[in-house]
Amino acid sequence: MPTTAARRRALRSLLEERAPRSQAELVSLLAGRGFRVTQATISRDLRALGAGKGRDGRYRLRDVDPDEALDALARVIDEFVSSVGSSGNLVVLKTPPGAAQVVAAAIDAAGLNGVLGTVAGDDTVLVVASEQVTGRGLAHKLEEIGADR
pLDDT of residue 129: 96
According to the model, what pLDDT value does residue 19 have?
83
Residue 14 structural domain: 4-61
Contact between 76 and 103 under an 8 Å Cβ cutoff? The reply is: yes
Tell me the three state secondary structure of residue 57: coil
pLDDT at 111: 87
CA distances from 109 to 20, 49, 50, 60, 106 (A): 24, 11, 11, 16, 5
Examine the domain organization and report whether 124 and 92 are in the same domain: yes
Say whether both 75 and 140 belong to one domain.
yes
User: Do residue 13 and residue 76 come from a single domain?
Assistant: no
71 and 143 inside one domain: yes
Taking 70 as the pLDDT cut, the residues of the chain under it are 1-2, 64, 149
- Name residues whose C-beta falls within 8 Å of residue 35's C-beta, 6 or more positions apart in sequence: 2, 6, 7, 10
Residue 79: half-sphere exposure toward Cβ, Cα within 13 Å: 12
Q: Which of 39, 61, 83 is the last residue of a domain?
A: 61
pLDDT at 74: 94
What CATH number is given to the structural domain containing 42?
Answer: 1.10.10.10
- What integer pLDDT is reported at residue 1 of this predicted model? 56
Is pTM beyond 0.85? Reply is no
